[in-house]
Amino acid sequence: MSQNTVASYCSDVEKFLTAYGGRPENAGPADIEDYLATRSQLSERSLARLVSSLRSFFDWMVKEGYITDSPCDRVEAPKLGVYLPSVLSEDEVDSIIRCVDTSSWMGKRDRAILEVLYGCGLRVSEASGLKISSVFFEHGFIRIIGKGNKERLVPIGEMAMEALKAYMEDRPVPAAKADDLVFLNRFGKSISRISLFKIVKKYTLAAGIMKEISPHTFRHSFATHLIEHGADLRGVQEMLGHENIATTEIYTHVDSSSWQKEIIDHHPRK
C-alpha cells in the first residue's frame, strides 16, 4: 500500500487503542462497536475505512498468535453505495487553467501542475514527486511510480508538454537533493502535497467555480472525459494505475449520470 494509506491505517488503530485504554488482546466486539459509536459523526465511507483498519490490525494479531479470534468478525461495516466522484466539465477545466498568470516562473509552474494533473490523471503524490528523469518529451510519455511501487507509462499530451517545457526553462536553481524533481517550491525544494491542494483551490476560486475541488478532482475529470470521448476502459485503467478494473468502471457511472441528466433536462414531460 502507499505510505499515505499505511499512515492512515496506523492512525486509526492508534486512536482506537488510546480510546480503549486496555491491552489489544482483551478487546471484544462490544469495545469495537462502542468506539465506532463515538465516531458516528464520520461519513459512512470514513467509518468503513476505520473498520477496515481495525480488521486488518486484529487479523494480524490472529495470524501472529496473539489472539484466536478477531473481535471485528462480528462487527459490520457500513454498506456503501456506488461512489460517484465530483468531476469538472471540460469548460471548467479550461477556465481554471486560463486563470493562471504565467508571467513568473511560479505561474508557469502552476500552469504546468494543472496541465499535468488533468492531462495525465496523476495522483497528488505522483505529481509532487514527479522526476525530470521520468519525463520523456521526445517519446511523449512520463514514467510514474504509483501505489505499491508499481511503474506505469502515461502519455503526455501536447498542451501539458508545452506547459512543462515553458516551466522547465524558468525553473529555479534546486536546493540540495532536489536536482531531479520537476516541481519546486520557492525555496528550491520539493513542492508539498498541501501546496498542490492550495494551488488548485486558488485557481478554482479565481475561475468562480464553487464546487469542492481537490487535485484528485482533475484525475476524476481526466478519466471521465476520456471515457466520454470513447477511450477504451482497459486503457484508462492502465493510465490511472488501477489494479482492479472495477475501480475504473466507476467513471462509466459518472458518464451515465451526465447523459441521464441531459435527457431528463430536455424531456418534454420532465
Residue 156 · residue 141 · CB < 8 Å: yes
Which parts of 122-249 fold into alpha helices (H)?
A: 124-128, 158-170, 193-206, 215-228, 233-240, 245-248
Residue 248 · residue 81 · CB < 8 Å: no
Handedness of CA 215, 220, 223, 228 (dihedral sign): negative
pLDDT at 148: 74
Beta pairing partners, 142: 135, 154
- 3-state DSSP: the chain helix, strand, coil percent, rounded to 5? 60, 5, 35
Q: Dig out the grid coordinates for 178 from the structure.
A: 532536489
Q: Count of CB atoms within 10 A of residue 104's CB? A: 10
Identify the CA nearest to 116 among candidates 3, 239, 235, 237. 239
Task: Tell me the one-letter amino acid at 72.
Answer: C
Residue 86 · residue 211 · CB < 8 Å: yes
Q: Average pLDDT per run of 10 along the chain, which is 270 residues long?
A: 82 94 91 88 83 93 92 78 72 95 96 94 91 93 85 90 95 92 94 94 94 88 86 82 74 56 52
Q: Active-site residue numbers?
A: 123, 147, 216, 219, 242, 251
Q: How far apart are CA 225 and CA 223, in angstroms?
A: 6
pLDDT at 6: 86
pLDDT at 132: 95
**Phi (first) and psi of residue 135, to 5 degrees:** -105, 120
pLDDT at 258: 53
Domains of the chain: 3-74 (1.10.150.130), 90-263 (1.10.443.10)
pLDDT at 239: 81
pLDDT at 255: 53
**Phi (first) and psi of residue 47, to 5 degrees:** -65, -40
pLDDT at 40: 80
pLDDT at 77: 74
pLDDT at 48: 86
Q: How far apart are CA 106 and CA 114, in angstroms?
A: 12
